Amino acid sequence: MADPIRCAVVGDPVAHSLSPTLHRAGYAALGIAASYDAVRVPAGELAGFVAGLGPQWRGLSVTAPLKREALALADEVSDIARLAGGANTLVRTAAGWSADNTDVPGAAAALRERYPGAATTATILGGGATAASVGLALADLGIGRITVAARNPDNAADAVAAIRRHPAGPEVEVLPLAAVDGRGGVVVSTIPAAAQTPDLVARSLPAEVVFEVTYNEWPTPLVAAATAGGVPVVSGLDLLVHQAVLQFARFTGHDGPLDAMRSAGETAQAAR
């Protein structure tokens, strides 16, 4: 019998990740012989880690701060990963390692699932790699005006450039967080809960929908305020599950069992 395939999520920090819970639930639901772990890999060490992996290793979920490193070491790069400027997925192929980005279609699927409306504008709090991926997802959904608000707008240059490269040509504005003014539409938070001050939360609402990309600190101040005001919320767990389902298919060749993976994630999150 062939050795079970191996997969993992890599990043730093990574111990908090629910990805092992989701992927293991998928393996169990489909009866696939595979393992999935969380491995701490500091910045600058991804290439060395990948070089040491044996043939049983099939795929890696890549989180901060390694998404650009994943792109650089890959033998093949998908169009969406190149557009986003970072990869959250590495898959072993006959040619070596293929880099992909499932955050973009995962974010679009998560938003579609929870919000049937047709917003035309969005404000993204934060300007890092996740902001770029979600911004591209918003453009995929037809949102034509996107504001990126960052503590230091200069640090959002890569994310802004990535969103502007989208074929739909969205109008992208960059502002300091202090200038957020409750423009409505979709409000996306990619910043930590600790950065969601009462003043910023008040200036970020009202909104048609709030998309909070974290799941480790729940509910965040923004989510609490949105829920109190009757604003629908898309959670970081929604994003994690949808992008993981896409990764699962790339790693195993089988469609990811959405319900089983979501249920496992909800149970694990509730237990924290």
| Pair of tokens at residue 196 | 């969601």
Query: Which one is catalytic: 6, 24, 58, 67?
Result: 67
Nearest alpha carbon to residue 29 among 242, 245, 247, 239: 245
- Taking the alpha carbons at both ends of the chain, their separation in whole angstroms is 38
Q: How far apart are CA 259 and CA 261, in angstroms?
A: 6
185 catalytically annotated:
no
| Pair of tokens at residue 241 | 């599950």
* Strand, helix or coil for residue 121: strand
* Phi, psi angles (nearest 5°) of residue 69: -60, -40
* Strand, helix or coil for residue 152: coil
Q: How far apart are CA 90 and CA 67, in angstroms?
A: 10
Q: One-letter amino acid identity for 175?
A: L
**Tokens 């557009």 identify what position?**
83
Q: How far apart are CA 224 and CA 213, in angstroms?
A: 14
Crossing angle for the helix pair 236-252 and 258-270, to the nearest 10 degrees: 130
The rounded Cα 168 to chain-centroid distance in angstroms is 21
Which residues are annotated as catalytic? 67
